Amino acid sequence: MKSLHWQDLLRRHPIFSSCTEAELSHLLTDEASHERTCGQDTLVIRSGDLSDSVFVIGAGSVQVTVLGTVVAILKEGEFFGEIAALERKPRSASVTARERCTLLEVQGEEFRKLLEAHPDIAATVRAQASARLNQSGKQQP
């Protein structure tokens, strides 16, 4: 069972706001996603891992690191993990909780289905992924 009001958060979210109520409800089923609570300094994803889920931050914040360098701090309402979901490649960065966090972990396959149904969402997510890849590339030696 999910403790946050994810439907409300997603309904207002710039990425998910064009989804129908039925799509949001499906995204929140136990088959499509689950809620994770992470304590401070908990490693959420590790660079090189083969997982492809996408995370939405419901509470708290995380830091994204590439080769030991912090490249981003993400807060409530932001998402991460989209690069691995889109490219179906290993994780390009590590993400660690900066404080206690509540995250919605959406299965990669479910996220890709949503993108297929909503080209507007797909374009926005791809642009964000491209910007993040460019930023992380600037951090590498």
* Residue owning tokens 């479910």: 110
How many angstroms separate the CA atoms of 133 and 113, rounded?
Answer: 22
With b for 16 or more beta-carbon neighbours within 10 A and e for fewer, the 33-57 pattern comes to bbbbebeeeeebbebeeeebbbbbb
Q: Are 44 and 108 in contact (CB under 8 A)?
A: no
Q: Where are the domains of the chain?
A: 6-139
How many angstroms separate the CA atoms of 116 and 128, rounded?
Answer: 17
Task: Give the architecture-level CATH label for domain 6-139.
Answer: Sandwich (2.60)
Looking at residue 96, its pLDDT comes to: 98
Written as tens digits, the pLDDT of the chain (141 aa) is 688 889 999 998 888 888 999 999 999 999 999 999 999 999 999 999 999 999 999 999 999 999 999 999 999 999 999 888 888 899 989 999 999 999 999 999 999 999 899 988 888 888 777 776 666 555 444
DSSP states along 108-137: HHHHHHHHHH-HHHHHHHHHHHHHHHHHHH
Residues near 12 by beta carbon (within 8 Å), at least 6 away in sequence? none
Q: What is the DSSP letter of 52?
A: -
CA 136 to chain centre: 16
Looking at residue 138, its pLDDT comes to: 56
Candidates 20, 25, 132, 135; CA nearest to 86 is 132
Looking at residue 18, its pLDDT comes to: 86
Looking at residue 17, its pLDDT comes to: 84
Tokens of 12: 């207002």
Looking at residue 83, its pLDDT comes to: 85
Candidates 108, 109, 112, 130; CA nearest to 122 is 112
- What pTM value is reported for the model? 0.88
Looking at residue 141, its pLDDT comes to: 45
